[in-house]
Amino acid sequence: MPTCPAALDTHRVRAVVPSDVLRGRVAWSPLKSLWFTSMALAAVIGGLATFTWAAFGVFLASTAFVLLFGHSLGSHRKLIHDSFQTPKWLEYALVYSGVQVGLAGPLGLLRQHELRDYAQRLPDCHDYLRHGSSFWRDAWWQLHCELRLEREPAIHIESRIAGDRFYRFLERTWMLQQFPPALLLFAVGGWSFVFWGTCARVTACVFGHWLIGYFAHNHGGMHHVVDGAAVQGRNIPLTSLLTMGESWHNNHHAFPGSARLGLYAGEWDPGWWMLLVLRKLGLIWSIRLPEDLAMRPELRALDGAEPASAALGSPRFADAWRLLANAHQDGIHCEGPATLLSAELLHRLLGAGFTHRPAARRLSVTAAGVQLAGLPALCIALAARSGAAKLLAILVLPLAFAAEQIRQGLRYG
């Protein structure tokens, strides 16, 4: 019989005996199965029948949006782990975006997470909760079934969440919440936008959540091990951008309360980058990092890797933020070649501050004695054009720096 580690004394899950989370059976869940199957069939049949590149673009944009703002920031880093503070209206907006992922309501998702987290920290864990069965069986289990324990443990959710009227409303209606965006998409682009922007999005998010979960508990690198835990998280570098940083799962098992998941050099974490953007805008504060968390005696480092200094807090990134915040047309000098776009079009986009230099290798901007090149430079140059362009540049700048890191890695790595 597994014993309960001292670290679980304050966990939201309270089992009469720890082995309660081991005794149970996996059973088909009709509603869960019908939800995923209907979405998948509509995505495949309807999506193929009505395909347009515009609809596919809606799918990509809407999926990226709900994964970043909804699942990563709203559901996981805020609702479940409370790793940063934000105004209530923004918290609601983020969590509502998380509901659009299509996994569950906010309270149900929190309960699922807590039960799985509690069970994985014990010396033994049910295969359903650890993704411990074969690949295809685990797919069937996670997408179409549920674990029915013989004796359900109590899960204590704070009253600020469990008693929140908005969250309780979303919990009752989470499936129906797909209708508002679907109606909007239908009004804009017809059934094609609905099939791709709703059905395909939900299918990709739910299937992807299972797929990443399977590999993040079975295959991948590790910086740390949690002694005594039946399940160790694994890092999946190749999917870090697709998952908005959520695939650094070994880091997360080591420091579950950290708002930053990509903790080491080269570990891209778009969720963290967006948190820095929101902090710069004054919309979030009290961000928790590994050094802010209580010491865990069961946590043991496996390698000598040192956590990276915040890549987006580097001098170059700070310079970019300063230039962006103070961007105005007469203070920005931009020059570069006309490779992908004509010189005339670049003049129209970037204004009088742009100088066409055919011999230059890349686009660059210079202001206040600071020079930046590549995509970050393009963001700064565009920000000087208008307020709307500046807002767009604020959102895109972290991704522009990420693209520069990838480019440098491919060129010099």
Q: Contact at 8 Å (CB) between 255 and 293? A: yes
305 token code pair: 């890797």
Q: Give the model confidence (pLDDT) of 57-79 as tens digits.
A: 999 999 999 999 999 999 999 99
- What is the model's pLDDT at position 100? 97
- 301, 324, 342 - which closes a domain: 301
8 A C-beta contact, residue 101 and residue 205: yes
What's the rounded mean pLDDT across residues 253-261? 94
| 280 and 336 belong to one structural domain | no
Range of the domain at 371: 314-412
Residue 10 lies in a domain: yes
For residue 162, count CB atoms less than 10 angstroms from its CB and return exposed for 0-12, middle for 13-18, buried for 19 or more: middle
State whether 242 and 290 are in the same domain.
yes
Q: Are 276 and 339 within one domain?
A: no
- Which helix (H) or strand (E) element contains residue 334? strand 333-336
Average pLDDT over residues 84-109: 97
Q: How confident is the model at residue 9, as a pLDDT?
A: 79
Model pLDDT, residue 10: 83
Statement to judge: residues 340 and 210 lie in one domain: no
C-alpha closest to that of 73 among 280, 205, 271: 271
pLDDT for the residue numbered 49: 97
Nearest to 327 by CA among 252, 282, 384, 272: 384
For residue 200, which amino acid is it?
A: A
- Is pLDDT at 408 greater than 90 in this prediction? no
Among 374, 376, 253, which residue's Cα sits nearest to residue 312?
376
Are 250 and 209 in a shared domain? Answer: yes
Q: What pLDDT sits at residue 328? A: 65
Q: Domain check: are 291 and 346 in the same one?
A: no
Domain-terminating residue out of 301, 336, 352: 301
Q: How confident is the model at residue 331 (pLDDT cuts 50, 70, 90)?
A: low
Angle at 256 between CA 262 and CA 222, to 5 degrees: 55
Higher pLDDT, 408 or 75: 75
How much is the pLDDT for 139?
Answer: 97
375-383 helix and 315-325 helix, angle to the nearest 10 degrees: 20
Same domain, 257 and 323: no
Per-residue pLDDT tens for 194-239?
999 999 999 999 999 999 999 999 999 999 999 999 999 999 998 9
Asked if residue 338 and residue 274 are part of one domain, the reply reads no
Strand partners, 372: 365
